[in-house]
Structure formats: structure tokens, C-alpha cells
Amino acid sequence: MGDETLKFLQRSKYRPLLLKSLENEVLMPKEISQHCGIRISHVSKVLAELKSKELIEILNPEEYKGRLYRLSDKGIYYLKKLDE
């Protein structure tokens, strides 16, 4: 499982970038977009991918707009693995 998740992250330039932007942060998609310098449409797509792999968490899932995202424990683990 671990190798597949690491490969999943490495296959995209945006996935590691978004994980890194959430390191020690709780951010909304617009803030992530501004922080990373990528379009909001890309951010939304990548957030959905990272969520499907349980690498991030939504703190207020009942909200449609203004959702807050942070790294999950699994996301923190793989962010460290990417830095190795």
C-alpha cells in the first residue's frame, strides 16, 4: 500500500505541492490556490484526489463553500516520505 500511495503522489507535480501547502496549515481551496500559484480548478481536482486517498481531511464537510482542509495523519506521513 505504501509504495502505491507514494507513486500516486509522485506522478503529479501538483499533489506534493498541495500537501506541502497544508503542512501545519488549515486552508480553504482559494488560499491553497494563491499559496501554490495554480488555478482553483486544478486545486479542486487535486483535493478530491488527495481526499480519496485519505491524505487530507475536511474540517467542515457540511459546508459547500469555504471548506477547510488539513493534512491527515496519513498525509503527514507521506509528506515526510516525499522529503526523504
Quote the distance between the C-alpha of residue 44 and its chain's center.
Answer: 10
What percent of the chain has pLDDT above 90?
A: 92
Rounded to 10 deg, the angle between the 73-83 and 2-10 helix axes is: 70
As a residue count, the chain comes to 84
Q: Give the mean model confidence (pLDDT) for residues 40-49.
A: 96
Whether pLDDT at 1 is above 50: no
Mean pLDDT of the chain: 94
Q: What is the pLDDT of residue 84?
A: 84
Domains of the chain: 2-83 (1.10.10.10)
CA distance 75 to 81: 10
Burial class (CB in 10 A: 0-12, 13-18, 19+), 42: middle
